[in-house]
Amino acid sequence: MSASDILVFAETYRGNLSGSVPELLGAARGLADATGGEVLAVVISNDGGGFVDGLQAADRILLVDHPSLAEYSPEPFLLALRQVIERETPRAVLIGSTSIGWDLAPLLAAQLKKPLVLGCQQAKVQDGEIRVVCALCGGKMIAEVRIPEAPAVLMVLPGSSAPASRSGKAQVEKVAPSDLPTPEKARVVFKQWILPPPGDVDITTQEVLVAVGRGIQQKENLEPIQQLAELLGGAVCASRPIVDQGWLPLTRQVGKSGMTVKPKLYLALGISGAPEHVEGMSGSELIIAVNTDPKAPIFDVADYGVQMDLMELVEPLMEAIQEKKKG
């Protein structure tokens, strides 16, 4: 226990660690190196032992196991996390910018009466204070904030840090929670996961995504793009206007009110790059953007940019891929 430790909420989702956790551990390691503290990962579940392997980038792993913590529910999770924080007194608590994170982090900060910083992109220690670069108003403004108080609750955006490398030496400890509400006594009760319709693709697990935006202009143009995605061994996803028009289901939407994706390749066709879209795809390994407007903000996050009409690109690109596959 030390006031210089950095605590990571190691979120789990349906039996797996959330994709946000390795990056949170990476961000925590950078801070802990500067504060001289340790990285602590806390798993809140009914049986956290199975997650230990995936948390070896931490110095200590704290398992809070209890039957009331089998599925996410704000009251017991908040109480369990608070008990760990009161025991460990960390300098900062890192929580992913996920659906659960959005539920938990503001409640936690309010109950602790401590500062909450949303949209964290970078965090460092300067003059003994944590300083965070964060995206406000969906990324339209960037601010640097100082947080003199501890613990600071930081909600970290996906793609903000490199994942931490595993040390394999993490110490595992069980923490017994007390006075957790039983499901009958809780005011909010977990009922069920609402999953993508059976048969639809889970875009969060695809290595290649061909993303379409309003630049495709008409629904009929989706067909060749679907073929292109298949040729590349991936799936089609979209910006919000495409989903709002009913051309693709909500399960294919990338962004703030859609999915967060991290494919190896994200090919963005006719997408302007609004902050709400970029929030969901900036963690992709390689981003290639095609847009007629050379000033489109998507080019600011792209590794490669092509200024042209996307429909003039799709056919020749498919032919070139087919040729390459033949040869």
Which residues in this chain contact ligand FAD in the complex, by CB under 6 A?
A: 213-215, 239-241, 253-258, 270-272, 274, 276-277, 280, 290-293, 296, 309-311
Q: How far is the CB of 279 from ligand FAD (least distance, A)?
A: 7
Residue (of 68, 73, 78) closest to 42 by Cα position: 78
Nearer to ligand FAD, 127 or 220 (CB): 220
Q: How far is the CB of 109 from ligand FAD (least distance, A)?
A: 22
Q: How far is the CB of 159 from ligand FAD (least distance, A)?
A: 15
Nearer to ligand FAD, 52 or 201 (CB): 201
Q: How far is the CB of 315 from ligand FAD (least distance, A)?
A: 13
Q: How far is the CB of 277 from ligand FAD (least distance, A)?
A: 3
Return the residue nearest ligand FAD (CB atom). Answer: 255
Q: How far is the CB of 118 from ligand FAD (least distance, A)?
A: 14
User: Strands 141-147 and 171-174: what pairing?
Assistant: unpaired
Nearer to ligand FAD, 200 or 276 (CB): 276
Nearer to ligand FAD, 26 or 215 (CB): 215
CA–CA separation, 261 and 202 (whole Å): 10
Nearer to ligand FAD, 8 or 211 (CB): 211
Nearer to ligand FAD, 78 or 222 (CB): 222
Nearer to ligand FAD, 3 or 137 (CB): 137
CA–CA separation, 193 and 190 (whole Å): 8
Residue with tokens 């840090």: 161
CA–CA separation, 222 and 169 (whole Å): 49
Q: How far is the CB of 291 from ligand FAD (least distance, A)?
A: 4
